[in-house]
Amino acid sequence: MNTKLPEISAPLSIKITAFENDFSFKVEESVLTQDDGLTIGRYTFQFGSSVVPEPILLEWEVPLLDIAGKWHPEINSNRSLTADWTMYLNSYATLNAPVISLFSGRGENRHCFALSDAVNPLKIKAQVNEETATARCRVILFDAPTPEMDSYEITLRRDERKIGFEQALSDVAQWWADMEAYRPESVPASALEPVYSTWYSYHQELNPEVIEAECQWARDLGCGTVILDDGWQTDDENKGYAFCGDWEIATSKFPDFAGHVKRIQQMGMKYMIWYSVPYAGLKSETWKRFQNRVLPKPFRNAACLDPRYREVREYLIECYERAVKEWGVDGLKLDFVDQFTAELPGSDVDEKADMLSVPAAADRLLTDVMASLKKISPDILIEFRQKYIGPAMRKYGNLFRAQDCPNDALSNRVRTLDVRLLAGNTAVHSDMIMWHPEESPEQVAHQLWATLFSVPQISVRKSVITADQEQTLRFYLEFWMEHRELLLTGKLNPQYPQDLYPVVSAQHGNDTLLVGYADRVIRIDAEALSSERLILVNGGHESRLVVDFTSEVEIEKMQIFTCQGKAIDHASPTALDGVHSLPIPVSGVAICRLK
């Protein structure tokens, strides 16, 4: 790395150097905010002429004082400071978000940094420096194909306020949302309705009559949307993506697709269909048409279309317009857009690309998709999946789903909460909930409670689940719908992030809800409990919930329910103070009316 400092007009608050080569530039820092632990600085780079800039490193260090772990949008289960020891987090329009949080053992913010450029490729990292016992924070600019430019501007936000780590991240999300470049798309009310998905329940074995019967059942349970996943576009049922790209209805499965969609809509449900946006299968006509306009292949049997070409973008938009206009669907599940990578694609001999940067071209494509579809259907639903959940994605979508984690309650809980930290008011959905047909009702409920702070997506067959399982599902969806405003818009506090949120609370109006996902003491700050109702959920595996009231709380009435909604106990008026073991069964609920 070249450590030669650039020419500057005043001392910088961070170190900025050319990363590899002897690249000359000037940089000026403008301090926009510096108050109470929050520092926002704008960095303006001047290159002297129109050039393709070489990589530039921004670097600073944070003392490791009461810092227990770190968080970023791709962190998964390892929240340790040394997670991904030498790896940078890649961020661009359709992948991740340029933010890293360092937090204390109690989940308090210690250092949270974020950058204003969420479209162009960036590399970021926060890693332990053993020699100085500091966290070395790094940002690399221009380490990907970049258009020529004579100047560049980026803003760096660094937050060391003593607030919850979740609040620091929420403030970053709002900071982005206030920027014109990332103004979030509106969220229709239908985006907050439970969903029935065909993926885990049927995969590619699709039949309109069966789906309609499932939707009638799901609607009765409270679902407001169905997502028809992979399989509608092909007669092949071997999975894979060889037949993606043409996006024609497989008429052997759906002889009257528009009629099928309309019948489900008449039940009162919205209808969404799946697309693997970048993929052109090698058995498709689209591959033949665009084989010289592709990025490196993500799969053996599929190529990735190159959005830098206007013809490619126009083709994809036409496909989605047709689905809304001709088939009457209410929304699209747009998958795999993170495959629009920052790599340099091969050249095209027939047509010159009108853009150089793949992420910038993907940004243009998805911006145009949303604008075009909203002209046809103002309340269009667009789903994206974790890890493409950054601030730019909120412009083109109004529904973010947790990354696939079938039958994995822990991952579904952690992923939905992680997505919520940066989502603002964009709807956050769980991965599809499924279970084995012989599973106990308590463990079925365990899968369900894990998704409590997101919009649940269900993917089981009515014909194979038991009556007890169905009653568990029905009780959960009724409970979720009753408390939806509290769960989705209340003040969210996912506690102990280094332990993967074993305790989570939400507070809204006169209601407070706490979930214990592990057998540990749940501390309840009674003085901050300005609620009329306290709801306690046993999301763990023991037949009790241990709570510690910091001061006396008067309970007028307590009702305890099983995971199927059966009332099994109630308590007379009582006052609770200190530690108590409440007899809430596994996956059960206690609803306390406070005096």
> Are the CB atoms for 466 and 487 separated by under 8 Å?
no
- Bin 239: left if φ > 0, else alpha if -120 < ψ < 50, else beta: left
Query: Cα separations (Å) of 341 from 54, 94, 108, 357?
Result: 19, 8, 34, 9
> Are the CB atoms for 162 and 110 separated by under 8 Å?
no
| Span 254-313, pLDDT tens digits | 999 999 999 999 999 999 999 999 999 999 999 999 999 999 877 788 999 999 999 999
Which amino acid is residue 41, in one-letter code?
G
Helices 208-221 and 467-482 pack at an angle, to 10 degrees, of: 60
Question: What was the pLDDT predicted at 8?
Answer: 57
In Å, how far from its chain's centre is CA 480?
20
Output phi, psi for 14, to 5 deg: -130, 160
pTM of the model: 0.95
Domains of the chain: 7-182 (no CATH), 193-276+318-341+373-489 (3.20.20.70), 491-594 (no CATH)
| Span 174-194, pLDDT tens digits | 999 999 999 999 999 999 999
The two tokens of residue 119 are 């479209």
Got the DSSP string for 517-544? Answer: -SSS-EEE-GGG---SEEEEEE-SSSS-
Distance between first and last Cα of the chain: 65
Question: What was the pLDDT predicted at 574?
Answer: 86
Render each residue's pLDDT in the chain as its tens digit; 595 residues.
555 556 655 567 899 999 888 899 999 999 999 999 999 999 999 999 999 999 999 999 999 999 999 999 999 899 999 877 778 999 999 999 999 999 999 999 999 999 999 999 999 999 999 999 999 999 999 999 889 999 999 999 999 999 999 999 999 999 999 999 999 999 999 999 999 999 999 999 999 999 999 999 999 999 999 999 999 998 877 777 999 999 999 999 999 999 999 999 999 999 999 999 999 999 999 999 999 999 987 778 899 999 999 999 999 999 999 999 999 999 999 999 999 987 665 455 456 789 989 999 999 999 999 999 999 999 999 999 999 999 999 999 999 999 999 999 999 999 999 999 999 999 999 999 999 999 999 999 999 999 999 999 999 999 999 999 999 999 999 999 999 999 999 999 999 999 999 999 999 999 999 999 999 999 998 877 877 899 999 999 999 999 999 999 999 999 999 999 999 977 777 889 999 999 999 999 999 999 8
The two tokens of residue 386 are 């974790």
Q: Which sign does the torsion angle of CA 239, 242, 245, 251 carry? A: negative
Output phi, psi for 476, to 5 deg: -60, -50
Which long-range CB contacts under 8 A does 49-52 form with residues at least 24 apart?
49/150, 50/148, 50/149, 50/150, 51/148, 51/149, 51/150, 52/146, 52/147, 52/148
> Are the CB atoms for 317 and 376 separated by under 8 Å?
no
> Going by DSSP bridges, is the β-strand pair 533-538/511-516 parallel, antiparallel, or unpaired?
parallel
Cα torsion through 295, 296, 301, 303, rounded to 10: 0
The residue to which tokens 């019948």 are assigned: 263
